[in-house]
């Protein structure tokens, strides 16, 4: 078959997105419009501008900050100079003077710490053995899972020694992880609860839907100042309540875990509406026929929610949790305003640590911390996408 006859056949079938040579189809049938209808031209016209923008705004800064992370920036007459120092900045962070700042101080695991570590490690081991036995995995995937599993074991050990260890304290990396996971979990549970509530036939349903969204509209700095006032037992708006409760000599922000709790509470307050609005949309868009059938069959509301409603929400939940998790890793406004990272370094996140280094014009360290965060977020994101999102989609 000649190409001309093939093109004619394809043309007669209407719009074609794939085929032996769709480009030539256009050339033959619409020579007058060839310039504008040419998919190659369209591809160049629409793709390259976007690609250039991405290159300028994302890739170039990424490369520039990598260069900074491997360099020392110093001031010289009339400008500055960048000296390549290899991995020195990373060495300082993980092996040098900043090691305990980033990784924390390891203590002796408490009983709970040992239980968390051993229990978690056992679960990971079981999961890994099952994966190997399933023989459905390629060698590269197996290596990836082995490395991922090893990192998770290290993470569990870090939790056991710094968070749950006697005499230990978490560094900025662990504090960031605590913020990210606790904040995401709590916002999801609260957002889901509120979404379910506002789908019930209650009075003032619309009013509450709007009210629940308000925290999301407020800038994080504003939220931080608000919680700073609320936690001020001396002169805040709820000082009389603190005094009535006999807590005028107590401050939540003076204790390391109290201050972290304050950051988490304010973060949850701010971000619950995000979960709420997405889950509300998912709840309202679900197919109700199955639930109605289950109701007719006499299933309890709890059982319907667990066995029908929740599975229907899983794809949306998996996605929204990933978005929130990535966002949560970058937390800076709240600890910066609420506590300045204190007391000590108790509430300092990786982003705040990077910002403090930048503020001191230590650009190399600042970039190295930022890259560390990038690696952590990427690994968590890939792991989440691999193990959670893929499975949740296969469940539906």
Partner 1 sequence: MAIGRRRWLGVLPALALVVGATGVAAQSPSTGEYDGVTVNVVTFSGPPIAEPLERYAVEFEAATGATINITKYPFSDLYSKALADVATGTNSFQLMTLAAPWVADFASAGYAADLTDKIANDPEIAWDDIMPFFRDIVAQYAGKVVGVPIDGDFTMTYYRTDILGADGVAPPKTWDEYLQIAEKYDGKDLNGDGVPDYGSCISKARSGVGTWLFNGVLSSFVQTMGTGQGTFFGDDMTPLINNEAMGAALDFWKTSMEFGPPDENNLDQQGGRDMFTSGRCALAIDWGDTGVLAIDPATSKVIDKVGAVQMPGSTNVLDRATGKLVPCDATICPNAIDGVNHAPFAAFGGWSAVVNAAADEKTQAAAYDFAAYVSNPTRSNIDVTHGVTGMNPYRLSQFGDNMANWVAAGFSEAAASSYLGAMKDSLDNPNMAVDLRILQSNNYTNVAEDQAISQFLAGELTKEEAMQQLFDKWQELTDSIGREVQAAAYAASLGVQR
| Identity of the residue, 205 or 340, whose beta carbon is nearer to partner 1 in the bound complex | 340
> Which residue among 127, 358, 388, 389 contacts partner 1 (CB under 8 A)?
358
Whole-number Cα distances in Å, 34 to 28, 39, 42, 44, 303: 9, 9, 11, 15, 60
DSSP line for 184-245? HHHHHHHHHHHHHHHTS--TTHHHHHHHHHHHHHS-HHHHHHHHHHHT-TTTSTTHHHHHHT
* Phi, psi (degrees; rounded to nearest 5) at 233: -80, -10
When binding is defined by CB under 8 A, the residue of 323, 340, 385, 387 that contacts partner 1 is 340
- 344 scored as a contact of partner 1 (CB under 8 A): yes
Q: Is 371:364 a contact under the CB 8 Å cutoff?
A: no
SS3 state at 130:
helix
* Phi, then psi, of 81 in degrees rounded to 5: -130, 150
Q: CB 26 → partner 1: shortest distance, Å?
A: 49
- Give the interface segment with partner 1, choosing from 154-162, 174-182, 270-278, 354-362 (CB under 8 A): 354-362
Could you tell me the smallest distance in angstroms from the CB atom of residue 180 to partner 1?
Answer: 22
Site stretch for partner 1 (CB under 8 A), options 37-45, 185-193, 350-358, 371-379: 350-358
Instruction: Using CB under 8 A, pick the residue from 36, 361, 390, 393 that binds partner 1.
Output: 361
Residue 109 is inside which H or E element, if any? strand 108-109
Structure token pair of residue 344: 């000590």
Tokens of residue 208, six digits: 């509450």
Q: Given the structure tokens 């794809």, which residue do they identify?
A: 315
Strand partners, 81: 74
Nearest approach, Cβ of residue 222 and partner 1 (Å): 15
Q: Which of 107, 120, 343, 381 binds partner 1 (CB under 8 A)?
A: 343
130 binds partner 1 (CB under 8 A): no
Contact status: 342 vs partner 1 (CB under 8 A): yes
String marking each residue 60-89 x if it binds partner 1 according to CB under 8 A: ------------x-xxxxxxx---------
Interface characters, 244-273, with partner 1 (x: CB under 8 A): ----xxxx-xx-x-----------------
39 binds partner 1 per the rule CB under 8 A: no
* List 66, 91, 101, 283, residue binding partner 1 (CB under 8 A): 101
- Rounded to whole angstroms, what are the CA distances from 279 to 282, 287, 306, 392? 5, 14, 15, 16
Nearer to partner 1, 204 or 246 (CB): 246
Q: Mask of contacts with partner 1, 215-234, x by CB under 8 A?
A: -----------------xxx
**Contact range with partner 1 by CB under 8 A, out of 150-158, 176-184, 195-203, 355-363:** 355-363
Number of Cβ within 10 Å of residue 335's Cβ equals 28
Size of the site for partner 1 (CB under 8 A): 41
Closer residue to partner 1 in complex, CB, 312/346: 346
The CA distance from 387 to 367, in Å, is 30
Structure tokens, 317: 């939940």
Kind of pairing between the strands at 165-166 and 108-109 = antiparallel
Binding residues (CB under 8 A) for partner 1: these are 72, 74-80, 92, 96-97, 101, 105, 169, 232-235, 243, 248-251, 253-254, 256, 339-346, 356-362
């Amino acid at each position: 078959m000649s190409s001309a006859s093939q093109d004619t056949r394809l043309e007669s079938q209407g719009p074609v997105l794939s085929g032996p040579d769709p480009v030539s189809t256009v050339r033959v049938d619409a020579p007058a419009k060839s310039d504008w209808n040419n998919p190659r031209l369209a591809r160049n016209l629409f793709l390259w501008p976007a690609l250039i923008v991405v290159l300028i705004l994302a890739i170039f800064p990424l490369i520039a900050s990598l260069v900074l992370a491997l360099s020392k920036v110093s001031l010289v007459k009339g400008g500055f100079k960048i000296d390549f120092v290899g991995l020195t900045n990373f060495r300082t962070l993980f092996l040098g003077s900043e090691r305990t700042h980033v990784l924390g101080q390891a203590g002796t695991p408490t009983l709970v710490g040992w239980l968390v570590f051993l229990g978690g490690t056992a679960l990971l081991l079981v999961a890994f053995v099952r994966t190997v036995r399933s023989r459905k995995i390629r060698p590269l995937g197996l290596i990836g899972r082995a490395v991922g599993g090893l990192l998770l074991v290290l993470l569990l050990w870090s939790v056991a020694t710094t968070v749950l260890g006697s005499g230990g304290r978490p560094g900025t990396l662990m504090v960031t992880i605590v913020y990210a996971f606790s904040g995401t979990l709590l916002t999801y549970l609260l957002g889901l609860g509120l979404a379910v509530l506002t789908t019930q036939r209650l009075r003032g349903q619309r009013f509450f839907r709007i009210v629940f969204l308000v925290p999301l509209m407020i800038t994080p700095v504003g939220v931080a100042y608000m919680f700073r006032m609320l936690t001020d037992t001396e002169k805040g708006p709820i000082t009389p309540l603190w005094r009535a409760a006999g807590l005028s000599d107590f401050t939540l922000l003076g204790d390391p875990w109290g201050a972290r709790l304050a950051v988490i509470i304010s973060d949850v307050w701010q971000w619950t509406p995000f979960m709420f609005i997405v889950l509300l949309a998912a709840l309202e868009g679900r197919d109700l026929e199955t639930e109605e059938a289950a109701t007719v069959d006499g299933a309890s509301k709890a059982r319907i929610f667990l066995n029908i409603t929740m599975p229907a929400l899983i794809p949306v939940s998996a996605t929204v949790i990933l978005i929130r998790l990535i966002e949560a890793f970058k937390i800076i406004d709240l600890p910066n305003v609420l506590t300045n990272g204190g007391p000590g370094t108790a509430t300092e996140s990786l982003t705040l640590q990077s910002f403090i280094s930048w503020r001191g014009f230590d650009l190399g360290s600042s970039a190295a911390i930022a890259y560390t965060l990038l690696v952590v977020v990427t690994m968590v994101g890939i792991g989440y996408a691999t193990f959670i999102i893929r499975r949740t989609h296969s469940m539906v």
